[in-house]
Amino acid sequence: MTIRFAIFASGSGSNAEALYQATVEGQLRGEIVGVFSDKEDAYVLERAKKWGVPAAQLSPKAYASKADYEQAVLDQLRIWQVDFLVLAGYMRLIGPILLSAFPNKIVNIHPSLLPAFPGKDAIGQALAYGVQITGVTVHLVDAGMDTGPILAQRAVEVQGTREQTETFIHAAEHELYKEALDQLWNEERIK
Angle separating helix axes 162-190 and 14-24, nearest 10 degrees = 40
139 is catalytic: no
Could you give the CA distance from residue 106 to residue 101 in angstroms, rounded to a whole number? 10
Residue 41 gets which letter from DSSP? T
CB distance 58 to 73 below 8 Å: yes
Q: What's the min distance (Å) between Cβ of 41 and ligand GRF? A: 13
Closer CB to ligand GRF, 82 or 169, in the complex: 169
Closer CB to ligand GRF, 105 or 110, in the complex: 110
Neighbours of 96 (CB within 10 A): 11
Q: What's the min distance (Å) between Cβ of 10 and ligand GRF? A: 7
Q: What's the min distance (Å) between Cβ of 117 and ligand GRF? A: 11
DSSP string, 97-165: HHHHHSTT-EEEEESS-TTSS-SS-HHHHHHHHT-SEEEEEEEE--SSSS-S-EEEEEEEE--SSHHHH
With CB atoms as reference, the residue minimizing the distance to ligand GRF is: 89
Cis ω for the linkage preceding 115 (within 30 of 0):
yes
Q: What's the min distance (Å) between Cβ of 16 and ligand GRF? A: 6
Closer CB to ligand GRF, 34 or 111, in the complex: 111
CB distance 18 to 178 below 8 Å: yes
Closer CB to ligand GRF, 34 or 89, in the complex: 89
Residues at the contact surface with ligand GRF, assessed by CB under 6 A: 9, 11-16, 88-89, 109-111, 173
Query: Residues with catalytic annotation?
Result: 110
